[in-house]
């Protein structure tokens, strides 16, 4: 590096990084370049083209980068910029409607960089009080939307999978405390076939059986069906109910489910990883009635609350059971003040970044009203696309959306036709959508989480490309 670059590199917005930690030397250039790249990336759009490449192609184009002498920050950033980042999918693009995408606002994305720069240990209050305080204000706002009492508390974990598992660990602990012993046949988790794959995973980790509740014709768990299962399953310790299934975006009959859970003294967990965000929306809030009696709840802000990966808000109506289940104890942890709201006491984690802060900053920047509008806007987009599909002769709407998942088919198409269509649009960068299965057959599904998505644009693409 020449002297000129060195001089220039010593200043990040006027800040001299020389002498901040001697061992690594002057890192001004690498810091400046990385942050400049981040700012430029946030200002850039990308198309929703399918971008994955084989590991061997990436290895050829990137070359070895983790080597004894290093390759230098400039070269590392060049490879990231030219080879690696382009081989990732644009999750936030308004025409990415595949799986459940993510459409964070730029304020939230930017604050992820800020959060990283502060390198806060967010596991215990003593180390991360200021950051945890801000996270807790967001969690309290969510608890308010759930209409939960002041005993509610929670923390942010990496994703719905960890959130669901952590809630179920607390549920089992409470069942053990209340009943005094594990049932001879082991514990049983109750859910429907519409429960997310992470619930099956959690049951395996917990080594518990699953009792499946048959759903109604539209896929909901109803109170009556749940009661039948609970009556013949005394080993049930928790019911996992959905406020927005991943495949169809439907909400179980939460009030009836809550009644059944109360009558059988079983923990009620609401998996709102995707759909929980719609608690904000007055137009659908009534569908969530009964959620105020749930014992635990999750929502992934990295899905429909405009925050970047990775972020799941996990809440307990009464955090005492969670503390009982999750607090880690050891001689080297004795000095932790357990009277404080330590996130590490509430989930399956100890070290953690303060990953709720990007959401906090987005909310603080735009205000909760704006978030309400953003959710309502995406709900309306889903409704408009559903209505539009009904009008397109060669397409069939399969159900009226309850939230922002729209399921439809193209009568006459085979499974291979669906796959070919999705792949063609992905390779052209026109729109991202993946087929799914519903009622035993292959169908199409689009998910709306981005307030910038235009129903007209989506409908035009759907109509023209499926003829």
Q: Which of 349, 347, 352 is nearest to 154 (CA)?
A: 347
Closest distance to ligand PLP from the beta carbon of 453 (Å): 18
Q: CB 307 → ligand PLP: shortest distance, Å?
A: 12
| 3 state DSSP class of 209 | strand
Considering beta carbons, is residue 48 or 160 the nearer one to ligand PLP? 160
By C-beta, is 76 or 407 nearer to ligand PLP? 407
Task: Compare residues 136 and 246 and give the one whose CB is closer to ligand PLP.
Answer: 246
Taking a C-beta distance cutoff of 8 angstroms, is the pair 455, 384 a contact?
A: yes
For the segment 318-337, give every residue that binds ligand PLP (CB under 6 A): none
Burial zone of 48 (CB within 10 Å; 0-12 exposed, 13-18 middle, 19+ buried):
buried
> CB under 6 A: which stretch of 27-35, 86-94, 155-163, 374-382 binds ligand PLP?
155-163
* Interface positions, 236-265, toward ligand PLP (CB under 6 A): 242, 246
- Closest distance to ligand PLP from the beta carbon of 242 (Å): 6
Closest CA to 196 of 158, 237, 268, 250: 250
Q: Is 159 among the residues that bind ligand PLP (CB under 6 A)?
A: yes
Instruction: Identify the three-state secondary structure at position 1.
Output: coil
Q: Least distance (Å) from ligand PLP to the CB of residue 205?
A: 13
Q: How far is the CB of 161 from ligand PLP (least distance, A)?
A: 3
Phi and psi at residue 232, to the nearest 5°: -100, 10
SS3 for 76-130 is: HHHHHHHHHHHHCCCCCCCCECCCCCCCCCHHHHHHHHHHHHHCCCCCCHHHHHH
Alpha carbon 408 to chain centroid distance? Answer: 24
Q: At what angle do helices 106-118 and 357-366 cross, to 10 degrees?
A: 140
Nearer to ligand PLP, 100 or 139 (CB): 100
Give the residue from 319, 450, 457, 293 showing the smallest Cα distance to 388.
Answer: 457
Residues 196-225 that bind ligand PLP (CB under 6 A): 196, 198
Binding-site size, ligand PLP (CB under 6 A): 14
192 is a contact residue toward ligand PLP (CB under 6 A): no
Tell the smallest beta-carbon distance from residue 20 to ligand PLP (Å). Answer: 35
Q: Which one of the spans 64-72, 212-220, 267-275, 422-430 is the region binding ligand PLP (CB under 6 A)?
A: 267-275
Closer by beta carbon to ligand PLP, 9 or else 101: 101
CB-based closest residue to ligand PLP: 160
The sheet with strand 236-242 has its strands ordered as: 153-157, 312-316, 296-299, 267-271, 236-242, 188-192, 209-213
Q: How far is the CB of 274 from ligand PLP (least distance, A)?
A: 4
The distance of closest approach from Cβ of residue 108 to ligand PLP in the complex, given in angstroms and rounded to an integer, is: 16
Enumerate residues 6+ apart whose C-beta is below 8 A from 148.
292, 315, 317
CB 103 within 8 A of CB 92: yes
Q: Which stretch binds ligand PLP (CB under 6 A): 225-233, 271-279, 398-406, 437-445?
A: 271-279
- Provide the binding-site residues for ligand PLP, judged by CB under 6 A: 100, 159-161, 164, 196, 198, 242, 246, 271, 273-274, 300, 312
């Amino acid at each position: 590096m020449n002297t000129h670059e060195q001089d220039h590199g010593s200043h990040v917005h006027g800040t001299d990084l020389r002498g901040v930690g001697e061992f690594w030397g002057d890192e001004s250039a690498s810091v400046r370049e990385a942050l400049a790249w981040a700012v430029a990336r946030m200002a850039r759009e990308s198309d929703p083209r399918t971008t994955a490449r084989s590991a061997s192609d990436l290895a050829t184009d990137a070359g070895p980068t983790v080597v004894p002498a290093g390759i230098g920050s400039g070269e590392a950033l060049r490879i990231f910029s030219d080879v690696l980042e382009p081989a990732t999918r644009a999750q936030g693009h308004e025409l990415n409607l595949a799986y459940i995408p993510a459409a964070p606002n730029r304020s939230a994305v930017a604050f992820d960089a800020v959060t990283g720069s502060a390198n806060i240990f967010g596991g215990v209050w003593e180390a991360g009080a200021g950051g945890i305080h801000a996270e807790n204000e967001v969690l309290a706002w969510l608890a308010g939307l759930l209409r939960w009492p002041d005993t509610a508390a929670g923390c942010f974990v990496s994703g719905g999978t960890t959130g669901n598992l952590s809630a179920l660990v607390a549920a089992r602990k409470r069942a053990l405390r209340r009943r005094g012993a594990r049932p001879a046949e082991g514990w049983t988790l109750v859910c429907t076939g519409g429960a997310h794959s992470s619930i099956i995973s959690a049951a395996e980790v917990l080594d518990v059986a699953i009792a499946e509740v048959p759903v109604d014709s539209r896929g909901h768990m109803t109170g009556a069906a749940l009661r039948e299962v609970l009556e013949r399953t005394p080993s049930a310790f928790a019911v996992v109910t959905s406020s927005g299934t991943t495949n169809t975006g439907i909400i179980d009959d939460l009030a009836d489910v809550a009644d059944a859970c109360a009558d059988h003294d079983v923990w009620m967990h609401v998996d709102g990883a995707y759909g929980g965000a719609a608690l904000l929306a007055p137009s659908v809030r009534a569908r969530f009635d009964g959620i105020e009696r749930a014992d635990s709840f999750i929502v992934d802000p990295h899905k429909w609350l405009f925050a970047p990966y990775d972020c799941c808000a996990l809440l307990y109506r009464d955090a005492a059971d969670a503390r009982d289940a999750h607090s880690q104890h050891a001689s080297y942890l004795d000095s932790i003040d357990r009277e404080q709201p330590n996130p590490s006491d509430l989930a399956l984690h100890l070290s953690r970044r303060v990953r709720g802060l990007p959401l906090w900053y987005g909310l603080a920047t735009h205000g909760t009203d704006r978030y309400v509008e953003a959710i309502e806007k995406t709900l309306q987009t889903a409704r408009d696309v559903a209505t539009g599909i009904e009008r397109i002769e060669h397409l069939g709407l399969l159900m009226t959306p309850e939230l922002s998942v729209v399921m439809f088919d193209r009568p006459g198409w085979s499974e291979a036709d669906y796959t070919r269509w999705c792949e063609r649009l992905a390779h052209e960068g026109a729109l991202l959508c993946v087929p799914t299965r519903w009622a035993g057959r292959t169908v199409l599904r689009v998910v709306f989480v981005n307030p910038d998505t235009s129903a007209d644009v989506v409908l035009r693409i759907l109509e023209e490309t499926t003829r």
